[in-house]
Amino acid sequence: MPAPQTHYFEVEMALGGFGKQFTDVKMPVWAPGSYLVREFAKNVESFSAQAGAAPLRTEKVSKNTWRIYHPGAKDFTVRYKVYAFELSVRTSFIDAAHGYVNGTSVFMYPDGEVKMPSTLTVQPAPGWSQISTSLKPAGGTFTYKSSSYDELADSPIEIGNQKVLSFEANGTPHTVAMFGNVQYDEARLLRDMKKICEEAHRVVGQNPLDRYVFIIHNIDRGTGGLEHLFSTTLSVSRTAYSSEAGWKGFLGLVAHEYFHLWNVKRIRPVALGPFNYDQENYTRMLWVSEGGTEYFSNLIVQRAGFLTPDAYLADLSNGIGRVENTPGNKLQSAAESSFDAWIKYYRPNENSANTGISYYDKGEVIGAVLDLMVINATNGEKHLDDVMRYLYAQYYQKLGRGFTDAEYQDAVAKIAGRRFDEFFRNNVYGTQTLDYNTALGYAGLKLTSTPVTTDATLGANVSTTGGKYTVTSVGREGSAWQGGLSVGDELLALNGTRLTDDPNKALVGAPAGAQVTLLVSRDGQLKEVTFPLVASTAQRFRIEHLPNPTEQQQRVLSKWLPVTK
């Protein structure tokens, strides 16, 4: 990285022992953990190869494959540059301040040789002295080793002058690499992260680690996290550390990505490893891998003492609201949402909420309901933690593979002592509304709902950017949907009066059935649209305690949400 301000990594790959006429090298099209084909090869340039001092003929034979002709030469060197200027946890980035390498977007591999070990040497830009990665040192300055391409690709690297902190959890050293100018309480950060990590370990009860690295990018607006085999990268808003809500959000992100070191990296559906880096890797189980991780991460935060049980229930109520107030929840199942992640979740449009549901949100509430069902079926003796422990022991440790959809259901049945096939058929693979109150009732709780508003609404979101009032989304079956407003319509007047604000504000208090007339500009032409307003169907949910819970209900509740000191 001789000129980091130009946003280029320069890569040299020395290959040895390839006794063929030609060798193909590939760059992945996606980053495991982020289910979208991102076409990383688009950022590659200046590809060349040579044997000793002699240049070799190369040609590109597919979108992400380069062929090197090396007759008579078993050893040769490949060189290329990668443009890296997208600072997210899924991509690579370099500028004058720091460099970040997410392996699949920088490193190539010889076709068919992902099991080949490698040695990596990093040459930091002038003035940079810190490298943070979970790769193990190999001797020499900034030199590391990986047992396979999978490990190399799954070990991100932060390069620069980041602050490096450390703590120990469950006997394992943990490193925290903090990039960005940000104010935070260092002692509190390490103390609370340690609590989260130790609580996460208790879920499965097995420690697969000998080291772990948190790479934290503190930026203006954080974008989330991405899990790796022995590390994670977190993108955090710089303001997160300055409020209690922001702090708990940060701890929730830490818990989510850290718990992935079990759920996904080791306890995984069969499709999620070994990876096919050339194309989509389909699974219907992201509601477990991601939604289930979100469920457990929130439990971990509660169990670690950062949320009271009632505060956790309030957060879960909001999660139920996100699911039940999304129209697409009635059309797309959690399993379908998982399978279609490659074409839908990371490519949302203005109609996404009408046609689909997030496997994160739906998976979290499915996890809560299923957990209560397991706890109740076992009289408070077992819970979903035991399912995770069984999956870890059976499939990761014993069989060394992922589990199928059916094997996950079998695991739940083994722990619960009974099958829940109808639940999976109707609520996971179907779109039937979850029976929240039966499940919550096991714990002496109930779910109540009230309308968010009793007023009629426009049923459309409107942007007010630049003094224009433009429709950005239309809710299924709402007033605008039925009345014929379209995304992109510029709203000029309401009931004969020129608009000077978002029409949603002007319609507050309007009764259902009231007629409205909007003057719109559509494709540069004026059009008048008249339609009746309909009432909003959005509900606000709240989980409440039932009076006089039974001993069984108290047992279930204490197993589900233990009171921490």
Residue 454 is predicted with a pLDDT of 87
Which pLDDT score, from 0 to 100, does residue 565 have?
A: 58
What residue spans in the chain does CATH classification 2.30.42.10 cover? Answer: 456-535
Closest of 520, 533, 529, 402 to residue 471, by C-alpha? 520
pTM of the model: 0.96
Distance of CA 12 to the CA centre of its chain: 31
Q: Give, in words, the CATH class of 262-447+546-565.
A: mainly alpha
Which of 151, 317, 113, 333 has the alpha carbon at shortest distance from 231? Answer: 151
Omega prior to 274 cis, within 30 of 0: yes
Q: How many CB atoms lie within 10 A of CB 372?
A: 24
CA distances to 174, 232, 548 from 435, in Å: 41, 35, 22
Nearest CA-CA partner of 411 in 394, 434, 428, 429? 394
22-26 vs 65-69, strand pairing mode: antiparallel
Q: Which two tokens stand for residue 540?
A: 């606000």
Report the DSSP beta bridge partners of residue 317.
none
CATH class of the domain defined by 456-535 = mainly beta
Residue 15's contacts (CB-CB under 8 Å, 6 or more residues apart) are 23, 25, 75, 76, 77, 78, 110
* Plot region of 53 (φ>0 → left; ψ -120 to 50 → alpha; else → beta): alpha
Topology at the third CATH level for domain 4-118: Immunoglobulin-like (2.60.40)
Contact in structure between 220 and 238 (CB atoms under 8 Å): yes
Q: What is the pLDDT of residues 62-108, one digit of tens each?
A: 999 999 999 999 999 999 999 999 999 999 999 999 999 999 999 99
Domain with CATH 1.10.390.10 in the chain: 262-447+546-565
Q: List b or e across 481-505, with b for residues whose CB sees 16 or more CB atoms inside 10 angstroms.
A: bebebbeebbbbbbeeeebeeebee
Q: Which residues, 6 or more positions from 494, have their beta carbon under 8 angstroms from its beta carbon?
A: 503, 506, 507, 516, 517, 518, 519
Helix (H) or strand (E) holding 337: helix 334-339
Helices (H), 231-333: 244-259, 286, 292-303, 309-324
3-state percent breakdown (helix, strand, coil) of the chain, nearest 5: 35, 30, 40
Residues of the chain with CATH 2.60.40.3650: 4-118
pLDDT of residue 563: 83
The ranges of the chain with pLDDT < 70 are: 565
The set of residues, in sequence order, having a beta carbon less than 8 Å from that of 97 and lying 6+ positions away, is: 160, 179
Residue with tokens 């830009």: 125
Residue type, 468: K
Q: In 3D, which of 331, 316, 328 has the Cα closest to residue 366?
A: 316
Instruction: Convert 204-237 into a string of H (helix), E (strand) and C (coil).
Output: HCCCCCCCEEEEEEEECCCCEEEECCCEEEEEEE
Name the strand (E) or helix (H) holding 413: helix 405-416
* pLDDT tens-digit series, residues 126-136: 999 999 999 99
